[in-house]
Structure 1
Amino acid sequence: MRFSKLHILIFLILSSLTIYGQIKNIGLPEIRNYKRTDYKGGTQNWNIDQDKNGNMYFANNNGLFQFDGSTWRKYSLPNSSAIRCLKIGDSGKIFVGGYDEFGYFKADSKGKLIYFSISKLVNRDNINTIDFIWKIHIYGDEVIFQSFARAYIFKKNSLKLLEAPDRFQFSFQVKNQLYFQDVSKGIMKYENGQLQPLKGSTTLNNTEIWGMFSMPENKILIATLDKGLYLYDGEKMTSWDTEANIFIKKNSSLGGVTIKDKFIVLNSVLDGIIICDLNGKIIQQINHQKGLQNNTILTSFLDNKNNLWLGLDNGIAFVNENSPFTYFGFSFGLSTVYASVVHKGNLYVATNQGLFYHSWNNTIKENKFTLVEGTTGQAWNIQVIDDQLLCAHNRGALLILGEKVVKTLNKKGHFGFKSIPNRPNYIIGSNYNGFTIFEKSANGLEYKNQIDGFDKSASTFELDENNLWLKKDDLLYQMRVSEDLKKFKSIKTHKNLSNSAQGIGSIQRIKNTVYFQTKNRFFKYSQEQDLFFEDTKISALFKEIPKIYSLSEDNYGNIWYIFNESLGVLMKRPNGKYKNTLTPFSNLTGNLVNNYLSINTINLENIFIGLTDGLAHYNPALSNYLVTKPKAFIRSFSYPGDILLLGNVQNKIEQLQIPYASNQVKFTFSSPTYENLENVEFSYQLEGFDTRWSNWSTTAIKEYTNLREGNYKMKLKVRNSHGIQSEEAVASFTVSPPWYRHFVAYLFYLLLIVASVFFIQNKVKMKIRKNKYYETIEQRRLYLEKESKIRQEQYELEKEIEKLKSDKLQIKILAKDKELVNNSLQVVKKNKILNGIIYKLKDINVESFDDSIKFQFTKLNKSITKEVNADKSWKDLEKHIKNVHFDFLKRLKEKYPTISPRELDLSTYLLMNMSTKEIAEIMNISSGGVELARYRLRKKLELNKKENLTGFLMSI
């Protein structure tokens, strides 16, 4: 049955008036546990509060712990005692109480929380030990610290005492009233600094009161440790006989908190918490079995988004009560869910362990789902067709009735079933070996036959009036079944839908029409034209949507789709248009079952989604109240030597100036958004350094190194899991320049430059004058040098001329000597001839000559003899030879000092290329003597036999 547009509109208006603060009674909310190893503190957490920036604070055995969504920080009391209570005032002061110590933390100018003790105002002469402070109340302009013995009232920086009549237990604020429990006087109201006993309240003196809650008709609900719950009307106490009281009597109460004056959270010692309405009906129970890490709840707190924080005996828990999602997981006995359906008052769920059911009446009690008898194993699908419940199971096609399998229609494993168009008495099923036909008969649904001609398995198929469509192995199968439904009479495959649409994405039915999708383009098939044509209207719906993997239309016309392991939906509006919704499903990313999109829309408030670890319940009406803008905080700004903590309710920090030596900075980010923390993303830009905003990232830290001097502005945005962005958070700072680039340094540089210019100018002028002087001197020196050079050159020239003249004269003398040598040699030769003639003349008998001839002969002989004896050519020859070859003889003597004068003469004769005979004549020795002299000379000159003596002498 579909709702009309008017019904939907009325429903939305009514739900907008009533849904806020509603506790879902279906499933469990998201629970996030923080172990002591996460916050690195003690086990017990006694009290919780939240500041106006959204930071959470926990009173822990090891001190005060602060959580900003990204980072835990610890603050201790001076005596390091456990903190049992805390309260945050409007001024931002965090009042805390521990053992023998109480006071407040306040942020200093750098954002660090500094402790200020109030207990130092206590007169220690009268009060030795303060004991534990268990409760803190901000009552008007008073801050009241309650211990067992007394209350310490801090007002206008002074302290006064309120003594307990006997001994206080605990104290509570209910609306605008403050109540104390005294062990003998009962419950007492605090008014004008005095305690007024309440009538009829002493009946609870023998037990501890741990909680007081406002109720209708000015009544007060009182939760005791071991006596249960009581209603007090101002006159008497009456037991609150409800489901909640039965639970508290069994498990003991440790107080609680109210939710929007509609629901009460009750903490227990033994079994977690319960949430009940004002009639005491238990709406929800959360305990260790349901996901808490500990069953003893010491305190509970409702944050500014109506989410629940629990201080446990060991750890901390966050319960996302304000989410549109609740879950059925291991605590309900569910595992991976492939399909779900509501039928005849039961919710059935097909899982990998079998088919389970739970009673359904718009609420689900806390008990587990029950296995349908006979369905243990893989259940692929659960469907209602013609008011019959069919389970597609690994064991076969099963007909379900109530709590058991009433018939196994076919023993082959099945994936799902569909009605056959225009054949109302038949149902087709997809199994592990193709398709089967089931027929409706008088005995109910019966197996008819297996369709021959196709034996491939497929979990996704659709039917139109003429064809069965199946996607398998990247192919689209178009099959036609025979009239008797026993075989496929034609099978055709398609690789692409058109030339421009490559591949096959998915098959689905939208608006009762089979559509084929690829890359977000949707096509229909024309039987008449035998082709696929695009439906541009449907394609336009997915134009701005990421590439989808599969989709499904629910009973209300909403189109659900999967992309990148994430879920989205096009919610159909009353006007027929669609609204794309993505953000509420971000926390389901990665938990969806591959290839099995399981969406079960029962009505507008109840939508079930199958997950790998159970079943999610989604109420779209609650999503509207999650659309709140998150806050972004630059949580810390640090650089070498200092750190600033922002977001601690301190005054705004003015622009900071840091030295150049500390020009590496680190920022940490936070957003006190505690739902789906893993999906909170940050984007930042350091103005003055970054040219654009960074990509969105879950990283909550950023460092910059080696920043240049200048003004910087760190800007931060945060995006929560619903895709909503915050306003920008800004932190400005300035990096001072290094001393050598400081303004004073530049002024000094300017003065230095001016002085340098002035100094250089004077130096240049002096240099010019000096240069002119030296230039004059240099010119004078060059002139004198040139003049001296000219004189030297003239002298050298004259000397050269004289030398040339001397050389020329020497050459002439040598030439004369050579000429004389030649002439002398000629004379020697002549004398030899004459001596020969004289020698021959002696052989002539002159006696035979007449006197005149004899006279003439004797005259001739005397004349020849005179010519020979009178000639000095021989001595001249030796003299001239030595003159001509003086240099040669000098070199030879220097090279061979042992050479004799006769050997020098022989060397000279050999140099002059004289023959042995000539040498023998000159030296007046025989030819053999010449050869012997030559031999000795060669030996002295160390020549081998192959070397030429004359050639060697010429080379010297």
Structure 2
Amino acid sequence: MSLIKPYLIIIIVLLSSNLFSQEKKIGLPEIKNYSRIDYKGDTQNWEINQDKRGNLYFANNKGLFQFDGSSWRKYSLPNSGLIRSFKIDESGKIFVGGNAEFGYFKPDSKGKMKYYSLSKLINKNAIKLIDIIWKTHIHDDEIIFQSFTNAYILKKNKLKILEAPSRFQFSFKVRSRLYIQDHKKGLLEYKNGTLIPLEGTTALNNREIWGIFTLPDNKLLIETINNGLFIYDFKKLVPWDTEANEFMKKNGSLGGTAFRNNFIVLNSATNGVIICDQKGKIVQHFNKNKGLQNNTVLTSFVDNKNNIWLGLDSGIDFINENSPITYFGSSYGISTVYASVVYKNILYIATNQGLLYHSMEDLSNDNNFNLVNGTSGQAWNIQILDNQLFCASNKGALVIENGKTVNTIDTKGYVSFKSVPNKPNYMIGCNYTGFAVFEKVSNKWQYKNQLEGFYGYPYSFQVENLNLWFHLDNLIYKATLTDDMTRIKSIKTYKNLSNKDKGIGSIQQINQVIYFQTNNHFYKYSGDQDLFYEDKKISTLFKNLPKISEIKEDDNGNIWYVFKESLGALMKNKNGTYNNIITPFSNLTGNLVSNYLSINTIDPQNIFIGLTNGIAHYNPKQKNNLVIKPKAYIRSFSYPGDTLILGNGQKELENYDIPYKSNHVKFSFSSPTFENLENVEFSYQLKGFDKKWSSWSNNSIKEYTNLREGNYKMKIKVRNSYGIQSDEAFLLFTISPPWYRHPLAYFIYIILIITTIYIIRKRIKMKIRKNKYYETLEQRRLYLEKETKIRQEQYELEKEIEKLKNDKLKIKILAKDKELVNNSLQVAKKNKVLNNIINKIKDINVDTFDETTKTQFTKLNRSIVKEVNADKSWQDLEKHIKNVHYDFLKRLKEKYPTISPRELDLATYLLMNMSTKEIAEVMNISNGGVELARYRLRKKLNLNKKENLIGFLMSI
């Protein structure tokens, strides 16, 4: 360690006094490009200024552009011409000069910028051509618009003209003095309406001046476009023989601006912009290779947070000089960085392209990092062990010296190395197939052997005596080595650190003690009891922090940790306490190299952090001085029919009234915080509608639809990229109720309700009287209807009784008919028997009888014949049947006119449900004759075979 201390002292002295001063930066700050597509204007931008609220303005060939951090707005001249220059006064007026036009923008009552022309005050007969207004100044109580031919001076609303002695070039306000260059008179100072030549400046007549700056000892620095920089002490001009002058003579000068009192930003025509100190030494250089959009810088401006804005020949660029973090990236030939270290005043970085190096003495220049010969490919680590520099790469285990590989100890690919405690001559390296042992022999490190018993490699490991601890496959491995360190004697694995903390988070060394972490709880290992026990003191440090995935302690005792791809640090104080720092590293989120946390702390002001796209330099001192609380603004408030642009300098109302029909409102928010805009977040709450604040988001616009009438308070706050929140901003507005919910409307509603109740009450009384009258009539009507109904029911009842009587009579008649038919059939049978007897008597030979017998026989025969001939029961039967079934026979005859009497009789017999035998006897035909008659009757009635004849007759 004795060799390291002198180098560290040299490095710290160099860095503190020369390289890492507050203003002098190494690497590149964040550069944000805004193209013409972003602001929707022309390419060229000529002047930049900032108002009291922090909004930025840009003079563009297409007009004046305003940027509030969230949105761009364009304000045009009446002739839609270019704007070359402008200034903003205390009242918020923006005085602008353009092509043959000058005047000012002023917000109306709704915040919309309106243009008021001043060039109209000029007598066109006296001056026909105004020319381009190249410069605009606010000088004492005057506004000066300067063209090449004249200066137009506005004082107390009156305009006067100051003619050029020959021809003006440009004018410059330096502190409280105003200088104008004339082509023949040299440099002139404007005082009280007159021009006073400055001694010794006629030498500049053929040299176009683009910038004037103050220097110590009451001197001026004069910048010419092609002839470089000059020092002027108000007597003579002397070339400024400096590094900055050589640069400007080579690349052409286009003006500049003072920066942080002791520095000057100088714009070039062909090679970007430089920042130099007051001795002319270039501190920083930005050009297209370093992140600018192009190399022609027309104007530069330092905002209220010491950040630099550049108006380019094509676009606008923002340089985040306020940030405590700068970068070495692709412009320096760097890719993914896995580790870094400073050794003998040389910065080494291990990348996926090899081991790169750069001298610390000239780290601020534009030179790329160089590749250490023999290290191309993946370099995993670079470490100082035993006062030597070791590189772990896929080329093997390498020893590095003065930017060169001086020894290749082993050709296998290595990830990292660790010294073995209590064994200073041994070192363990993790390679692609496991672990190897290195031994120091004759003051030279050499490969000893590969440890047998384990295959594979973890991302990192720790060595404790003869034990190797590493984390792999969600397990903790404890590998115990043999005494001769030739092989792994035993391997034990652990799934959990304790019953309450499941899983394994990380293994790290803090204060030279190995700790095992999960869920932000830190454990030590007890070999005697073979268990893990929690260290409450260390766990308390991480108690209120997010869940940690990786931890590393730097050489100064600061503890760095990774959470959700973000970086945080517990910075150690002199008294042993820690301060938790997260906000400065928010811009690094997502750019850290997974499982390879690279932190290289040189001193408390200079820390290098490895990234996926380069290496970052962090200066904690600068962060403490410059990070301030942001401001939040409600930038616009719009609703159907109107839009209010707030914060343009107009008088704002305490409360805004909105008609109910316009209850669809829209807000836009802004914060003049231009650093890391992608990480600037807003939160809002509409009191009277939202119950709580919204989640943080990048969205700067919020709409509300169909709001009810009432009083509302829109509240907004912003959080910048460092996590610092602003104070609350708010806007009060009232939505008027619709006409039908207006207080006057409610008064009318009450009158209408009372009137309606009175009218209804009166009408009810009238209706009650009418109802009583109609009720009487109705009762009378109901009585009559009831009486009529009773009579009708009585009549219906009598008819029903009559019908029942008739039905009963018909039933009796039918019964009698049946009885008559039966009797008639009996008579027919009797007559048939008697006829048979008569026929048999005829066959008896009466000649054999005596006279007495013969007489008696003849008498008997006559008596039988008489009985047969005298019986009219059949005729009575037919007559009776026809009388009973008269209606049926009538309907049948009407429906079927062709039916014969004989068929009518058959139909009647069938209707009476007489059998075939009975019908045959009545009709005096055979059974077959009856069937034939039935068939003929079905044919007459047009019945098919499936239809029932008797059923059909009964339906007639």
CA separation in 2, counterparts of 1:714 and 1:506? 46
Q: Would the alpha carbon gap of residues 385 and 933 (structure 1) be closer, same or farther in structure 2, given more than 3 Å must change?
A: closer
The residue that corresponds to 2:10 in the other structure is none
CA separation in 2, counterparts of 1:941 and 1:811? 27
CA separation in 1, counterparts of 2:614 and 2:83? 39
Q: How does 1:743-754 map to 2 (within 5 A)?
A: 743-754=743-754
C-alpha contact (below 8 Å) 2:558/2:571 kept by paired residues:
yes
1:473 aligns with 2:445: no
C-alpha contact (below 8 Å) 1:214/1:261 kept by paired residues:
no
SS of 2:249's partner is helix
C-alpha contact (below 8 Å) 1:20/1:625 kept by paired residues:
no
CA separation in 2, counterparts of 1:313 and 1:137? 23
The residue that corresponds to 1:9 in the other structure is none
Pairwise CA distance, 1:233: 1.6
SS of 1:373's partner is coil
Deviation larger for 758-767 or 57-66: 758-767
Pairwise CA distance, 1:804: 8.4
User: Deviation string for 1:419-457 (max 9, x for gaps)?
Assistant: 221122333322223333333344533333333433433
The residue that corresponds to 1:10 in the other structure is none
Deviation larger for 582-591 or 760-769: 760-769
Q: Specify the code of the residue in structure 2 equivalent to 1:298.
A: L
Q: Would the alpha carbon gap of residues 19 and 624 (structure 1) be closer, same or farther in structure 2, given more than 3 Å must change?
A: farther
C-alpha contact (below 8 Å) 2:920/2:927 kept by paired residues:
no
Q: Would the alpha carbon gap of residues 212 and 881 (structure 1) be closer, same or farther in structure 2, given more than 3 Å must change?
A: same
C-alpha contact (below 8 Å) 1:524/1:534 kept by paired residues:
yes
Deviation larger for 880-889 or 824-833: 824-833
The residue that corresponds to 1:5 in the other structure is none
C-alpha contact (below 8 Å) 2:889/2:908 kept by paired residues:
no
Q: Would the alpha carbon gap of residues 114 and 874 (structure 1) be closer, same or farther in structure 2, given more than 3 Å must change?
A: same
CA separation in 1, counterparts of 2:671 and 2:117? 30
Q: How does 1:862-901 map to 2 (within 5 A)?
A: 878=875, 882-883=879-880, 886-896=883-893
CA separation in 1, counterparts of 2:356 and 2:949? 134
Q: Would the alpha carbon gap of residues 931 and 690 (structure 1) be closer, same or farther in structure 2, given more than 3 Å must change?
A: closer
SS of 1:775's partner is helix
SS of 2:523's partner is strand
TM-score w.r.t. length of structure 2: 0.87
CA separation in 2, counterparts of 1:764 and 1:447? 116
The residue that corresponds to 1:71 in the other structure is 71
Pairwise CA distance, 1:719: 0.6
The residue that corresponds to 2:411 in the other structure is 411
The residue that corresponds to 1:593 in the other structure is 593
SS of 1:217's partner is coil
Q: Would the alpha carbon gap of residues 412 and 953 (structure 1) be closer, same or farther in structure 2, given more than 3 Å must change?
A: closer
Q: Specify the code of the residue in structure 1 equivalent to 2:516.
A: F
C-alpha contact (below 8 Å) 1:294/1:312 kept by paired residues:
yes
CA separation in 1, counterparts of 2:946 and 2:369? 130
The residue that corresponds to 1:296 in the other structure is 296
CA separation in 2, counterparts of 1:748 and 1:619? 72
Pairwise CA distance, 1:363: 5.7
Q: How does 1:189-200 map to 2 (within 5 A)?
A: 189-200=189-200
Q: Would the alpha carbon gap of residues 784 and 102 (structure 1) be closer, same or farther in structure 2, given more than 3 Å must change?
A: same
User: Deviation string for 1:612-665 (max 9, x for gaps)?
Assistant: 222211110011133311111222233333322223232224533444444433
Q: Specify the code of the residue in structure 2 equivalent to 1:519.
A: N
Deviation larger for 124-133 or 622-631: 622-631
The residue that corresponds to 1:127 in the other structure is 127
The residue that corresponds to 1:342 in the other structure is 342
The residue that corresponds to 1:628 in the other structure is 628
Deviation larger for 186-195 or 671-680: 186-195
CA separation in 1, counterparts of 2:253 and 2:313? 14
The residue that corresponds to 1:238 in the other structure is 238
CA separation in 2, counterparts of 1:411 and 1:649? 71
CA separation in 1, counterparts of 2:398 and 2:204? 60
Q: How does 1:605-616 map to 2 (within 5 A)?
A: 605-616=605-616
Q: Would the alpha carbon gap of residues 909 and 514 (structure 1) be closer, same or farther in structure 2, given more than 3 Å must change?
A: closer
SS of 1:692's partner is coil
Pairwise CA distance, 1:496: 2.3
The residue that corresponds to 1:273 in the other structure is 273
User: Deviation string for 1:96-122 (max 9, x for gaps)?
Assistant: 111011111122222222211111111
Q: How does 1:433-472 map to 2 (within 5 A)?
A: 433-472=433-472
Q: How does 1:659-698 map to 2 (within 5 A)?
A: 659-698=659-698
The residue that corresponds to 1:714 in the other structure is 714
Q: How does 1:269-418 map to 2 (within 5 A)?
A: 269-361=269-361, 364-418=364-418
The residue that corresponds to 1:7 in the other structure is none
The residue that corresponds to 1:8 in the other structure is none
Q: Specify the code of the residue in structure 1 equivalent to 2:892.
A: K
SS of 2:161's partner is strand
C-alpha contact (below 8 Å) 1:481/1:489 kept by paired residues:
yes
The residue that corresponds to 2:210 in the other structure is 210
CA separation in 2, counterparts of 1:683 and 1:726? 10
Q: How does 1:826-837 map to 2 (within 5 A)?
A: none
CA separation in 2, counterparts of 1:337 and 1:719? 30
Q: How does 1:474-873 map to 2 (within 5 A)?
A: 474-791=474-791
The residue that corresponds to 1:111 in the other structure is 111
SS of 2:52's partner is coil
CA separation in 1, counterparts of 2:320 and 2:915? 137
Q: Would the alpha carbon gap of residues 306 and 950 (structure 1) be closer, same or farther in structure 2, given more than 3 Å must change?
A: closer
Q: Would the alpha carbon gap of residues 818 and 197 (structure 1) be closer, same or farther in structure 2, given more than 3 Å must change?
A: closer
The residue that corresponds to 2:6 in the other structure is none
TM-score w.r.t. length of structure 1: 0.87
The residue that corresponds to 1:6 in the other structure is none
CA separation in 2, counterparts of 1:464 and 1:182? 79
Q: Specify the code of the residue in structure 1 equivalent to 2:888.
A: R
Q: Specify the code of the residue in structure 1 equivalent to 2:885.
A: F
User: Deviation string for 1:294-316 (max 9, x for gaps)?
Assistant: 11111110001000001111111
Deviation larger for 164-173 or 107-116: 107-116
The residue that corresponds to 2:29 in the other structure is 29
Q: Specify the code of the residue in structure 2 equivalent to 1:882.
A: K
Work out which of the two has the higher radius of gyration on C-alpha atoms and give 1 or 2: 1
Deviation larger for 232-241 or 479-488: 479-488
CA separation in 2, counterparts of 1:358 and 1:867? 165
C-alpha contact (below 8 Å) 1:94/1:104 kept by paired residues:
yes
The residue that corresponds to 2:12 in the other structure is none
Deviation larger for 763-772 or 731-740: 731-740
CA separation in 1, counterparts of 2:434 and 2:873? 147
User: Deviation string for 1:567-625 (max 9, x for gaps)?
Assistant: 11000112211111000001111111122111111111111111122221111001113
Pairwise CA distance, 1:20: 13
The residue that corresponds to 1:81 in the other structure is 81
Pairwise CA distance, 1:360: 1.9
C-alpha contact (below 8 Å) 1:373/1:404 kept by paired residues:
yes
Pairwise CA distance, 1:560: 0.7
User: Deviation string for 1:3-37 (max 9, x for gaps)?
Assistant: xxxxxxxxxxxx99x99993233222111111122
C-alpha contact (below 8 Å) 1:514/1:524 kept by paired residues:
yes
CA separation in 2, counterparts of 1:824 and 1:352? 134
SS of 1:673's partner is coil
C-alpha contact (below 8 Å) 1:431/1:458 kept by paired residues:
no
CA separation in 2, counterparts of 1:512 and 1:949? 122
SS of 1:48's partner is strand
Q: Specify the code of the residue in structure 1 equivalent to 2:292.
A: L
CA separation in 1, counterparts of 2:287 and 2:909? 141
C-alpha contact (below 8 Å) 1:570/1:580 kept by paired residues:
yes
Q: Specify the code of the residue in structure 2 equivalent to 1:294.
A: N
1:43 aligns with 2:40: no
CA separation in 2, counterparts of 1:256 and 1:211? 6
C-alpha contact (below 8 Å) 1:827/1:873 kept by paired residues:
no
Q: Specify the code of the residue in structure 2 equivalent to 1:365.
A: N
SS of 2:885's partner is helix
Pairwise CA distance, 1:289: 1.8
Figure out how many residues of one structure are paired with residues of the other and give that number. Answer: 932
CA separation in 1, counterparts of 2:253 and 2:791? 131
CA separation in 1, counterparts of 2:707 and 2:782? 62
Q: Would the alpha carbon gap of residues 115 and 887 (structure 1) be closer, same or farther in structure 2, given more than 3 Å must change?
A: same
SS of 1:691's partner is coil
Q: Would the alpha carbon gap of residues 887 and 293 (structure 1) be closer, same or farther in structure 2, given more than 3 Å must change?
A: same
SS of 2:217's partner is helix
Q: Specify the code of the residue in structure 2 equivalent to 1:888.
A: H
Q: Would the alpha carbon gap of residues 50 and 879 (structure 1) be closer, same or farther in structure 2, given more than 3 Å must change?
A: same
